[in-house]
Amino acid sequence: MKKLKSAIVGCGAIAREHLTALAELNNVEVVALCDLSAARAEATSERFGIGKYYTSYQSLLDEVHPDLVHITTPPSSHFPIANACLSAGLNVICEKPITIEYTDFCVLRELAAKKQSMLIENQQLRFHSSVLHIRDLISNGELGEVLDVQILVAVHAPAGSPYVDLNAPHFSLSLRGGMIGDFLPHIAYLMHIFIGPVSELRTLWSKRVVDSPLPADEFRAIIMGERATGHVTFSANAQPGGFWLKVIGTRMQAEANLFELPRLTFRRFRSGEPALMSLVDGIVESKDGLKGAVASFWNKLGGVGSYDGMTEMMTRIYRAIEMKEPQPISLEEIDEVARLVDRFTKPEFKL
């Protein structure tokens, strides 16, 4: 069987997650990678057994013709690299946020449409096993109608954290919202999945640690979607860390920590004696919690961590390329998400 060819541009920490996921696909071969650091490119090629490495993405594009280019560089370089790939008629998956400015995304979107190339933002939590499970509960009616979606992201960034390194500024500081801006795409596409296109939103940005280089370390948003409402809390000060997604339906509430898997608990409507049902609820919730904690520990030993959805996403993307099907996350959806991210950071939506 002829394998699909992929190439990686940027060999930092996130590239490793892409390469680990790709290693599980038997219809894909990573043929080349690229990094500005020759040592990092060579080390990555050595570690993952990849034949060619480059220090210039233009040289890579000139010499290798991959079926999909993975752009895993810091956000400020996404636009020029994606532009070059799309101009060469190549398919692209780009780390989030796909571009810093929404207007740049529009340029890429037009180019992708013109060249009939795929242009996909990495939205791996969309394919996280807990998210897929909750979506199943919605589609089979068990959860009822979605009323509200709550997302709580806690990423502690004390002094010494890479996010607040005064000597080597973290790449997220190039984004509006700083480190919060780095997480906004995840928040935006999850909201979009569960509450639909957004009509109204209000945001609250604040800074508790005054002398940190972060433009803000706390973020709140209240959102009115087509199907439901949404609430977002991001904190760089709260502990313990986690990415909590809570979907409140008319028949059930589902809650998952997307940094762990499959840490998923449910509270269902049960008819019967309230005191007894409360006991049943407690037992079921404890069982789900324990099962999730053990599975999460096991997965950490297995090196899966919070990138659970990555392999599923790659599987669907490469299958779409192979079968010449539409991309698994449509350009329209990516556009909606990019616009929502843009609105999160715009002053006119601030409370």
Residues that bind other proteins (CB under 8 A): 12-13, 16, 20, 37-40, 43, 46-47, 162, 166-169, 300-304
The residue (of 23 and 280) whose beta carbon lies closer to other proteins is 23
C-beta of 166 vs 275, nearer to other proteins: 166
Dmax over Cα atoms in the chain, in whole Å? Answer: 70
Question: What is the nearest approach in angstroms of other proteins to the Cβ of residue 8?
Answer: 14
Q: Is the CB of 64 or the CB of 214 nearer to other proteins?
A: 214
1 vs 301, which CB is nearer to other proteins?
301
Which of 251/300 has CB closer to other proteins? 300
Beta strands 252-257 and 218-225: pairing type? unpaired
- In sign, the C-alpha dihedral spanning 328, 334, 336, 340 is positive
Q: Residue with structure tokens 């806690």? A: 154
Minimum CB–partner distance for residue 291 and other proteins (Å):
18
Residue ranges of alpha helices (H) inside the chain are: 13-22, 38-48, 57-63, 78-87, 102-115, 129-139, 179-195, 274-301, 308-322, 331-345
Residue pointed to by tokens 């933002």: 121
Instruction: CB nearer to other proteins: give 38 or 294.
Output: 38
Beta pairing partners, 235: 154, 218
Q: How far is the CB of 158 from other proteins (least distance, A)?
A: 14
Q: Which two tokens stand for residue 95?
A: 């780390």
Tokens standing for 90? 């190549």
CA torsion angle 257 263 267 270 (round to 10):
160
Going from the C-alpha of 22 to that of each of 9, 19, 125, 130, 323, the distances in angstroms are 14, 5, 17, 21, 18
**DSSP state, 95?**
P
* Minimum gap (Å) between residue 299 Cβ and other proteins: 9
Instruction: Please check whether residue 191 is in contact with residue 175, taking contact to mean a CB–CB distance below 8 angstroms.
Output: no
